[in-house]
Amino acid sequence: MKKISRRQFLAGAGMVLAANRLPQSWGKSPQVTLPIPKLLDGSQGTPIDLQIRSGTWSFKPGIKTPTLGFSQDYLGPTIRTRQNSELNLHYQNSWLENVAVHGHGLHVPGIVDGGPQLEIAPGDRWKPSLSIVQQAATCWYHSHTHGKTGEQVYRGLAGMIIIDDENSDSLNLPSRYGIDDLPIIIQDRTFDSEGELVYSLHDAHEDGWLGKTVVINGAISPVAKVPAGKVRLRLLNGANARFYIVQFSDNRTFYKIATDGGLLPAPVALTSMEMSPGERCEIIVDLEDVNPASLLTLFEDEFEDEEGLVENVLSLFNQTGTPLPEPSLTLIPDSSLSAHTEPLPQKLNSITRPSENEITVTRDFMLSMESEGGGHGHGEMEMMINGAVMNMNVINERVKKGIWERWRIRSDVGAHPFHVHGCSFLIEQMEGADTPVDQQGWKDMVVADDDDWATILVRFEHEATEKYPYMYHCHILEHEDLGMMGQFTVV
Ligand code: C2O
Ligand code: CU
Ligand code: CU
């Protein structure tokens, strides 16, 4: 996948890394513990209060940064729910701006989807009741306010949603929240000398707002004590614009078990994987050997040459003599904790693909960026899908409920993480090639590139009306805010 501008790691490796990977000007800090957002059980229908509010959060010990959160200073609680249950969310906007909150990955009707038509004014409440019909998955909720999504997510308006089902219960996967089943929200942030978050939609790079420092659940290079066995990480790329390469510093094998919308058919062994903004991957890492595991989240744009991503990123560090970057997260096994040591199940899920004669509609989506007057900042860029900038008064597509469709997505320049509301889909092709085995699960994110079509097979089971349509958009939040988004109904 090609980012819009490539940074040529091979040419200037040492300098790029030194500048980007150390927490800016803060130097080496004492190690902090991975913050684990509070877990709220929504599976019994008990209302979950989510107060949108400002706060202060210490990304760095001793420095207080003004932030936003849901009932906490930064980010929000993890909400746990189940297939065939009602999830009742009670939002209260105690902040100064309108906020819409979307349930990313949820299969719910447009009226409770939380798109920009559903903004909550300061002082107001919104109480959507969500019938959870979909299978076990890791989803998330985040601001979706018209033109303000990037800034509000950046300041903290995001949280995780975990859905369980009978299949996931029966599989004997690590599932003790905060112990061997960890929510891992990966973001990057830029701080000024006072420790305040720096953000400007207008000054964003054409790739979107790229933060300089990686934060995991709001902490810089935290450590987590875990049992000396199998540990499940629910990775969410919650960055505004970064694509990450995720791997361990010792190049150890891990197993990917789930994509955005559910478990994969079987675990897939990997040593490295890419994650686009908005994407979720559940992985299992084994710490039975009692060695600490250091998770790296490398900035993908630093490892690209003219052909795209370089093959073995870790070997580049050796070749160039560059020290490995600081881990984004270190897992430290503690053999006094009871560990999950049973082997991984061979079969996790069954996924049935539609046959060709079931696919009756094809739609094309062309993502484009046009600069007016040759400027480089976003202020001068027009972000479009099929030649149109997002307009709240225009329905771009009308879809029939319950019908399989083939959507073909492509861009005129660079890689864009394309997201569709209200569904999970299957990827048929990426960059003109067959879907890699670790992407053959249910998805709601697919990368659209400029050299060939990505194609997905999608079917919608819920209604989205003209008043409360669904969205499809680029999940680089600055592209979304600048118009790379469209609306569609399902009837
Ligand atoms: Cu995660 Cu329309 O967004
Ligand atoms: Cu979404
Ligand atoms: Cu984009």
pLDDT digits (tens, 9 = 90+) for 65-86: 999 999 999 999 999 999 999 9
Mean pLDDT computed over 157-162:
99
Rounded to the nearest whole angstrom, what is the distance from the C-alpha of residue 482 to the centroid of ligand 3? Answer: 10
Cβ(227)–Cβ(287) under 8 Å? Answer: yes
Ligand 1 pocket at CB < 6 A: 102, 104, 142, 144, 278, 419, 421, 471, 473, 475
Q: Among the bound ligands, name the one nearest to the CA of residue 278.
A: 1
Q: Which pLDDT score is estimated for 5?
A: 59
**Ligand 3 centroid to residue 368 C-alpha, Å:** 8
Query: Beta strand pairing status for 85-93 and 48-60?
Result: parallel
CA distance 381 to 374: 9
Q: Are 426 and 442 in contact (CB under 8 A)?
A: yes
pLDDT of 134: 98
Chain centre to alpha carbon of residue 44: 27
Atom of ligand 1 nearest to the CA of 471: 2
Residue 117's CB is within 10 A of a number of other CB atoms, namely 19
Structure tokens at 227: 């049992």
% of the chain beyond a pLDDT of 70: 92
Report how far ligand 2's centroid is from the alpha carbon of 181 (Å). Answer: 24
List, for residues 382-438, the tens digit of each pLDDT value. 899 999 999 999 999 999 999 999 999 999 999 999 999 999 999 999 988 899 999
For helices 9-21 and 313-320, the axis angle rounded to 10 degrees is 90
Rounded to whole angstroms, the Cα distance separating 105 from 472 reads 12
Tokens at 305, concatenated: 């040459």
Residues whose CB is less than 8 angstroms from the CB of residue 163 and which lie 6 or more positions away in sequence, other chains included: 80, 81, 82, 83, 132, 134, 135, 136, 137, 138, 139
CA of 289 from ligand 3 middle (Å) equals: 41
Residue with token string 């909400």: 79
Q: Quick check: 184 and 140 in contact, CB under 8 A?
A: no
| CA 408 / ligand 3 centre spacing (Å) | 16
Q: Which atom of ligand 1 is nearest to the CA of 105?
A: 1
The ligand whose atoms approach the alpha carbon of 277 most closely is 1
Mean pLDDT of 431-460: 95
Which ligand has the minimum distance to the alpha carbon of residue 107? Answer: 2
- CA–CA distances in Å: residue 240 to residues 149, 243, 250, 400: 9, 9, 28, 32
138 closest CA partner among 93, 106, 92, 102: 106
Tally the residues of the chain. 491
Q: How far is the CA of 365 from the centre of ligand 3 (A)?
A: 12
Q: Name the closest ligand to CA 474.
A: 3
pLDDT at residue 2, as a whole number: 62
Report whether 488 contacts 419 (CB < 8 A): no
- Indicate the DSSP class of residue 248: E
Give the torsion through C-alpha atoms of 210, 160, 112, 104, to 10 deg: 50
- Owner of token pair 């990313």: 104
Which residue has the CA at smallest separation from atom 3 of ligand 1?
A: 104
Q: For residue range 356-382, what is the model confidence (pLDDT) as tens digits?
A: 999 999 999 999 998 765 555 545 678
- Which residues, 6+ apart, have CB-to-CB distance to 306 below 8 Å? 6
The predicted-structure confidence for 345-357, as pLDDT tens digits, reads as follows 999 999 999 999 9
For 168-211, the pLDDT digits (tens) are: 999 999 999 999 999 999 999 999 999 999 999 999 989 999 99
DSSP assignment of 274-320: EE-TT-EEEEEEE-TT---EEEEEEEGGGGEETTEE-S-HHHHHHHH
Nearest CA to ligand 1 atom 1: 104
If you measure from the C-alpha of residue 102 to the centroid of ligand 2, how many angstroms do you get, rounded to a whole number? 6
251, 314 in Cβ contact below 8 A? Answer: yes
Evaluate whether 435 touches 387 at the Cβ level (below 8 Å).
no
Secondary structure class of 357 (helix, strand, coil): helix
Which tens digits make up the pLDDT trace of 200-216? Answer: 999 998 999 999 999 99
Q: Given a cut of 90, is residue 1 above it in pLDDT?
A: no
Closest CA to 240 of 154, 350, 336, 347: 154
pLDDT digits (tens, 9 = 90+) for 271-310: 999 999 999 999 999 999 999 999 999 999 888 777 777 7
pLDDT tens-digit series, residues 307-329: 777 778 888 888 888 888 899 99
Q: Are 428 and 435 in contact (CB under 8 A)?
A: yes
- Separation of CA 475 and ligand 3 centre (Å): 7
Tens-place pLDDT, residues 6-55: 444 444 444 344 434 444 444 556 689 999 999 999 999 999 999 999 99
Q: Which residues pair with 65 in a beta bridge?
A: 57
Q: What is the mean pLDDT of the chain?
A: 93
**What's the whole-model pTM score?**
0.95
Q: Which atom of ligand 1 is nearest to the CA of 480?
A: 2
Sorted by where each starts, the structural domains of the chain and their CATH numbers stand as 6-25+172-334 (2.60.40.420), 39-170 (2.60.40.420), 356-490 (2.60.40.420)
Q: From residue 191, give the alpha-carbon distance in Å to each of 65, 66, 211.
A: 9, 11, 8
